[in-house]
Amino acid sequence: MSTASLVVGVTAANSGRHEILLAGVAGLVAGALSMAAGEYVSVSSQADTERAALALERTELATQRPSEEKELATIYVQRGLEPELARTVALQLMAHDALGAHARDELGLTEKFVARPLQAALASAATFSVGAALPIVTVILTPVTSLVVVVSGASLLCLAVLGAIAARAGGASAWIGSGRVAFWGALAMAATAGIGALFGTKVS
C-alpha cells in the first residue's frame, strides 16, 4: 500500500519510468526492513515479558505452592466450577504440569510460550514485499501515461479483496471490511498524488 502510494506520488510528479521504478523498489526495501524491525522489536519484547512472567510463576510455584493451588482453584470458580470441583481440577492439573496450568489459565499464555521474533520479522518482511511487488510489476507493464490510474486501480482492487478476506476471517461483513479499507487506501493515494503533482509542478 505505501509502495503503491509512493509510485502514484512519484508518477504524479511527472517522473520517468526509471525514477518511478527506483522509488518503488526503494519503497519496497525500506518498507520491508522497517516492518521486519518493528515486528522484531515488538515480538522480542513480548517474548521477554512472557519469559519474565513465567520465571516469576515458576518461583511462586516452588516457594508458595498452597497459595498457588488456591489461586488456580479461584480462577476455575470464576469460570463457573463449584469450589470443590475447582479445587480438584486445580490439584490434578498441577500434579500433571503445574507451570503449564498456571501459564495457560492464569497468565493466558497458550502455545508452548515461545514467541519467535526472527520468524515473525521474516514473515512480516515477506508479506510486505509481496504486497509491494504488485505496484512495481504494474510500473514495468504499463505505459507511464496511464500509470496513476492503473496502479491506483490495481492497488485498490487488491486492498478491497484483502479487506474482504480479513473481514470474513474476523467474522464481520466482507462488504464493510473491503469498503473501509478501499476508502482509506483511496484517500492515502489521492493525498500522495496531490503532493506529487504539487511538488512536480513546482520543481519542473
Q: What is the contact surface with Zn ion in residues (CB under 5 A)?
A: 68, 71, 102, 106
Distance of closest approach, residue 52 Cβ to Zn ion, in angstroms: 14
* φ and ψ of 99, to 5 deg: -65, -40
Of the two residues 21 and 54, which places its CB atom closer to Zn ion in the complex?
A: 54
Distance of closest approach, residue 61 Cβ to Zn ion, in angstroms: 7
Q: What is the DSSP string of 61-84?
A: HHH-HHHHHHHHHHHHHHTT--HH
Question: Do 33 and 124 contact (CB within 8 A), yes or no?
Answer: no
Distance of closest approach, residue 115 Cβ to Zn ion, in angstroms: 20
CA distance 176 to 189: 20
Distance of closest approach, residue 71 Cβ to Zn ion, in angstroms: 5
CA distance 188 to 5: 7
Residue nearest Zn ion (C-beta atom): 102
Of the two residues 17 and 105, which places its CB atom closer to Zn ion in the complex?
A: 105
Of the two residues 35 and 94, which places its CB atom closer to Zn ion in the complex?
A: 94
Of the two residues 88 and 129, which places its CB atom closer to Zn ion in the complex?
A: 88
Pull the grid cell for residue 168.
Answer: 470474513
